[in-house]
Amino acid sequence: MDSDTLVKTNNFKSSITAKIITIGFLIVILLIPTIMISTLIYEREQRKAEAVNEINKKWGTAQTIIGPVLTVPYRTYVYKGEKRICTGKQNAYFLPEQLSINGTVLPEIRYRGIYEAILYNSRLTTTASFKKPNFSNLKIPSRNVCWDEAFITFGVTDMRGIKEQIQITWNGDALNPESGSKISSIIKSGVSCLIKLSEATDTSAEFTFKTTLDLNGSENLNFIPVGKTTKVKLKSDWPSPSFTGSFLPEKREITKSGFSSEWNILNYNRAFPQSWTKDDYDMQKYSFGVNLILPIDEYQKISRTNKYAILFIALSFLAFFLVEILNKKIVHPIQYLLVGLALCLFYTLLLSLTEHFNFNIAYSCSSVGVILMIFLYSTPVLKSKKFSFFITILISILYGFLFIILQQEDYALLLGSVGLFAILAIVMFLTRKIDWYSIGSKRNSYDTIE
């Protein structure tokens, strides 16, 4: 190598600007494995969702209880001169005055490989009271009503979850429900059965509906508030419920041994009436209920952890760069790259271990392994145990701080902002007396680490 080339090479090695640009380029390069890890996390999460969905389909998916809804057909007519011609039939729909549902939810966990799904069996007793349908409010003449064709429909989202014959009583008389909904525009799946109604029945008469369901489902159990007053009471031994939907329970009690909850919803709380004819209302958006959730979502935590990957790499490179300045030893870009890859490896270790062990255990094992690897590698590179311990302690603090952030979701942004502020303040304090312009001239005499 001639003298001019040697001088240029030494100038490049001693240039602070060149080193900073090189470090920045390496950080950008390390974005590639970081993105690949994010994709891997998503793929594993999707695989879990597929496994859980397969279990749910065979047991019973999330269930929503709709009804009962009383349907009474009526004839429609047109007049041609003085002649009255029937043009067909339409349905009039009536909702109960009072709706009461009492239930017990018994959860269990099933496994497909390394993945687990939350299933439940529920015993639900539903009682409802109806008044005699008032067609005058709907402006339908009583003579047009087909009273003998009236029927009740009770909706269940996934009929595969039914474990026993559904027994329905109407005013104490047992009915024979048939599978399928006769009003699919309102209730897509469920059971329907004919009931006895008569035009001669007193307008003040009340009719009582009652049924008990032995129902399997998974994760969610929801209800639609079709009653003028809807009351739902649930009990379960699952300790981690999430109350979802349009309404929260008025009363709830959650302990380590389970939960109990009560809802009380009025017809004023929703945007569909007690009776109607032609309009179809979207009742699903007023559903409410409970979601049996796992206390820890491992993939969500891993995904959150991976979002800090570039920050970890940048701070670790900054630590090596400062030690390089203070220790007067040039660290080769390949050595920076190897340290960055070790930091990226932490996330794949965390992902793989979390699928088999508790997240905290997986996090501890992964972080200790990576920290030990960097310590053993940096000691001969920096030729100083003091500076190697400094970097090791710094990276350990970063992993510990990240673990605290992961545990405090509500305060994650606050803690992260304060932490970055503290780190920047420390770096500014440590470098406040460094004459950066004079470093280049001094670095020519430093030992180059190949």
What is the chain's Cα-based Rg?
Answer: 34
pLDDT tens by residue, 248-259: 999 999 988 899
pLDDT, tens only, 349-358: 988 898 888 8
Tokens in use for 325?
A: 């300045």
Q: Would you state the torsion angle of the CA atoms of residues 186, 98, 126, 240, taken in this order, to the nearest 10 degrees? A: 90
Pairing of strands 329-330, 447-448: parallel
Mean pLDDT within 166-179: 88
Q: Closest by alpha carbon to 274, among 70, 64, 89?
A: 70
Residue 52 CB partners (closer than 8 Å, separation 6+): 112, 115, 116, 117, 218
For residue range 398-415, list pLDDT tens digits in order: 888 888 877 776 677 777
What residues contact 413, with CB distance under 8 A and at least 6 apart? none
**How far is 162 from 119, CA to CA, in rounded Å?**
14
Q: Are 295 and 288 in contact (CB under 8 A)?
A: no
Tell me the pTM. 0.73
In this predicted structure, what is the pLDDT of residue 436?
65
The pLDDT value recorded for residue 296 is: 61
Tokens of 387: 């500076």
Q: Which residues contact 75 (CB under 8 A, 6 or more apart)?
A: 86, 88, 89, 144, 146
In this predicted structure, the answer to whether residue 443 has a pLDDT above a threshold of 60 is: no
pLDDT of amino acid 425: 83
- Closest Cα partner for 156 from 91, 67, 220, 218? 67
pLDDT, one tens digit per residue, over 206-256 is 899 999 999 999 888 999 999 999 999 999 998 888 899 889 999 999 988
Q: 173 — phi, psi (to 5°)?
A: -90, 130
CA distance 399 to 392: 11
> DSSP string covering 358-388, please?
-HHHHHHHHHHHHHHHHHHHHHHHHT-HHHH
Backbone phi, then psi, for 202, in 5-degree steps? -60, 140
Give residue-wise pLDDT tens across range 40-52.
888 888 888 888 8
Task: Copy the structure tokens of residue 277.
Answer: 């004819």
Checking if the pLDDT of 33 tops 80, the result is: yes
More confident residue, 431 or 385: 385
Structure tokens at 65: 């209880």
Burial of 246 (0-12, 13-18, 19+ CB in 10 A): middle
Span of 52-56, 102-106, 145-149 with lowest mean pLDDT: 52-56
In the chain, what's the furthest Cα-to-Cα distance?
A: 117
- The residue with greater pLDDT, 10 or 157, is 157
- Give percent above pLDDT 70 in the chain: 90
Q: Structural domains in the chain? A: 3-46+299-448 (no CATH), 62-294 (2.60.40)
- Under the banding of pLDDT at 50, 70 and 90, the label for residue 86 is confident
pLDDT band at 193 (very low <50, low <70, confident <90, very high): very high
116 forms beta bridges with 111
> 358 near 47, Cβ under 8 Å?
no
Distance CA 12, CA 10 (A): 5
Q: Give me the pLDDT at residue 437, please.
A: 65
Neighbour count for residue 393 (Cβ, 10 Å): 13
Q: Give the per-residue pLDDT at 9.
A: 47
What is the overall mean pLDDT for the chain? 83
325: number of Cβ within 10 Å: 19
